[in-house]
Amino acid sequence: MTMPLACDQRELDLQYSPSSRVADIGVYLEEYAARSARARERLGGRLGVVYGPRPEQRLDLFPAGGDGTPTLVFVHGGYWQELSRHESSFLALDLVPRGVSVAALGYGLAPSYRLPEIVAMVADGIRWVCGNAPGPVYLCGMSAGAHLVMMALLEAGWDPRGVEPSGAILLSGVYDLEPLCGTYVNRALGLDPVTARACSPIHRVRAGLAPLVVARGENETGEFARQQTAFVAAVRAAGGRVTDLVVPSRNHFDLVFDVGDKETALGDHLVRMIST
């Protein structure tokens, strides 16, 4: 594994601040919310479906059909401490008309929950979808959501019928959490080095994983680029099937919009993954 960049505190914080690479993060957050509101208005869906005992364990489900219909579970980002399912339905606008159901997964956030609890919640939600979906299940996570999706894939105890996710798209993820211990991100998370390592997918990669597409925008920090390079190498070393993408002209926040657009490289990979 390559080592983190050698830098002072200010530079390390900047390296793990995706918003440092865009003019105004608010533009993207507003777009997530507006597109998600349109999805709920146009598609209806089953909102607030309970998948676990905690009040945050809810998902919004937008069905596209009956038996055999694939489902994409989307897990939002926000550094495990921001955003919700309410801003996470936008992919349904593009995918449901094409016959792909979308589940926007909500989960509890830091500092109300510790990271291992958040990981467990998301894994519960994905297991619930796998146990109730009418066809194959695929996963997509962005930023912290990419980390949570990967942790879920590495967890044991899937549906007793043998239903497991058939593939995953990971966008701009953090796969080694140890460098975060020394950044502003950790103020809410409260990670110690032992917990950070235990919750780092890069240290838990194993054989037999579902196919992965791992992508980031061209306009991301050096640490996000390093994280992706190191993680892809670890998956390949374990014999995993992984596609490594760097998408031109995209950043940490707008990359996700390509997932629903089959005319983009990322959207094309989703089409190919689902049709395999």
Q: Report the length, in residues, of the chain.
A: 276
Looking at residue 9, its pLDDT comes to 84
Are the C-beta atoms of 148 and 105 separated by less than 8 Å? no
Please give the average per-residue pLDDT across 174-178, as a whole number. 98
What pLDDT is stored for residue 3 in this prediction? 47
**Structure token digits, residue 50:** 């309970």
pTM to 2 decimals? 0.96
The architecture of the domain spanning 9-275 is 3-Layer(aba) Sandwich (3.40)
Those residues whose C-beta lies under 8 Å from the C-beta of residue 43, and which sit 6 or more positions away, are: 62, 92, 93, 96
Cα distances (Å, whole numbers) of residue 117 to 66, 105, 128, 199: 33, 15, 16, 11
Q: How many CB atoms lie within 10 A of CB 69?
A: 16
Range 164-169 average pLDDT = 94
Reply yes or no on whether the pLDDT at 164 is more than 90: no
Per-residue pLDDT, averaged over 60-68, amounts to: 93
Residues contacting 107, CB < 8 A, separation 6+: 56, 57, 75, 118, 121, 122, 125, 148
**What SS3 state is found at 47?**
strand
Q: Please name which of 190, 249, 254, 246 lies closest in space to residue 222, comparing C-alpha atoms.
A: 246
Q: What pLDDT does residue 1 have?
A: 41
Say whether pLDDT at 272 is over 70. yes
Selected residue with higher pLDDT from 159 and 221: 221
pLDDT of residue 66: 85
**What is the rounded distance in angstroms from the CA atom of residue 81 to the CA atom of residue 76?**
11
Nearest 5°: the CA angle 138, 15, 265 is 35
Question: How far is residue 38 from each of residues 29, 34, 45, measured CA to CA in Å?
Answer: 14, 6, 12
Domain boundaries along the sequence of the chain? 9-275
- Tell me the pLDDT of the chain averaged across its residues: 94
Q: pLDDT tens digits for 186-208?
A: 999 999 999 999 999 999 999 99
Instruction: Give pLDDT, residue 8.
Output: 80
**% of the chain at pLDDT higher than 70:** 95
Q: Specify the DSSP element, H or E, that contains 141.
A: strand 137-142
Measured N-to-C along each axis, helices 115-132 and 144-154 cross at an angle, to the nearest 10 degrees, of: 70
- Model confidence at 7, pLDDT cuts 50, 70, 90, reads low
pLDDT tens readout for residues 103-144: 999 999 999 999 999 999 999 999 999 999 999 999 999 999
* Alpha helices (H) along 77-221: 91-95, 115-132, 144-154, 186-189, 193-198
**pLDDT confidence bin for 6, thresholds 50/70/90:** low
Which amino acid would we find at residue 195? Answer: T
**265 in Cβ contact with 247 (< 8 Å):** yes
Cα separation, 26 vs 203, in Å, equals: 34
Mean pLDDT across 147-160: 82
pLDDT digits (tens, 9 = 90+) for 235-263: 999 999 999 999 999 999 999 999 999 99
